[in-house]
A = this chain, B = another copy of it.
Amino acid sequence: MIDQAMTFLDWFGVVVFATTGSLAAARKRMDLFGFILLGTATGIGGGTIRDTVLGATPVFWITSPEYLLACVAVSSAVFFLAHIPQSREALLLRVDALGLALFAVLGADRTLAMAGGPVAAVAMGIVTATFGGVVRDVLSGESPGILSREVYASAALAGASMFVLLHEGGAGREIAVIVGFSAAAAIRFGALHWGWSLPRYGARGADRANEVVSS
């Protein structure tokens, strides 16, 4: 039951990131093949680095090529439908938040299943959740958003940590998945809606004084 649900979530995450990749292609006014390439790279990027680093090779899309076909289908659909949403930018950010939350939990879960410890599982959750977006940004010639945006990777950190804590603490895997996913998604949606951000370096007195001196 839970394994089927995890497989469904995995599919959902791939489809969601394939959508954000092809929405980025829409913003750059690429051709159909650019949509497919960027959508697929974004959809499978996080899982590819996860499997490679864990040594779970050949990676998942070699043994389960239906993930590739799903990315192609989704990206093609976006090519013909992306003009419909009122605001592509807002849609992209919201869809991306779902993928971030899903892959944070799934990356941590896969690492625990392969006998990685809790710290490695949290780190891998963050990597899996953010790497697809890094690939998307680099391939489309944008500066990677992962470090410059409002609360982003820290939402993945929170979700993955919550999942690992509950999972290792003996709560069922179902509950750990639901709470971890909800925590990450809620934090990222909150950040998008209310513009949450952490205090930046250099907003402190000492540094401001330095700036006055050096200017």
Within 8 A of B (CB), among A1-29: 25-26, 28-29
One digit per residue, 1 when the CB lies within 8 angstroms of any chain B CB and 0 when it does not, for chain A 130-163 equals 0000100011110110111001011001000000
B52–A83 CB distance below 8 A: no
Question: Taking chain A's interface residues, is the majority helix, strand, or loop, or is none over half, making it mixed?
Answer: helix
Check if A165 is an interface residue, CB within 8 A of chain B: no
Q: A28-B147, A37-B153, A148-B141 are in contact. Are A61 and B202 (CB under 8 A)?
A: no
B65–A201 CB distance below 8 A: no
Check if A34 is an interface residue, CB within 8 A of chain B: yes
Q: Quick check: which of A92-100, A110-118, A169-177, A178-186 contacts chain B, the rest being far away?
A: A110-118
Q: A62-B120, A83-B206 are in contact. Are A147 and B34 (CB under 8 A)?
A: yes
Contacts of A28 in B (CB 8 A): 147-148
Chain A residues bordering chain B, tally (CB within 8 A): 65
> Which of A40, A53, A144, A210 has the most CB atoms of chain B within a 10 A radius of its CB?
A53
Number of copies of this chain in the oligomer? 3
B83–A204 CB distance below 8 A: yes
B33–A153 CB distance below 8 A: yes
A138–B147 CB distance below 8 A: no
B204–A147 CB distance below 8 A: no
- Docked pose: A8 CA to B76 CA in angstroms: 37
Additional pairs, 17, CB under 8 Å, beyond known A29-B200, A65-B117, A69-B119: A29-B202, A32-B199, A32-B201, A48-B53, A52-B53, A55-B59, A61-B123, A62-B120, A63-B120, A65-B119, A65-B120, A83-B206, A83-B207, A134-B139, A139-B144, A139-B146, A141-B144
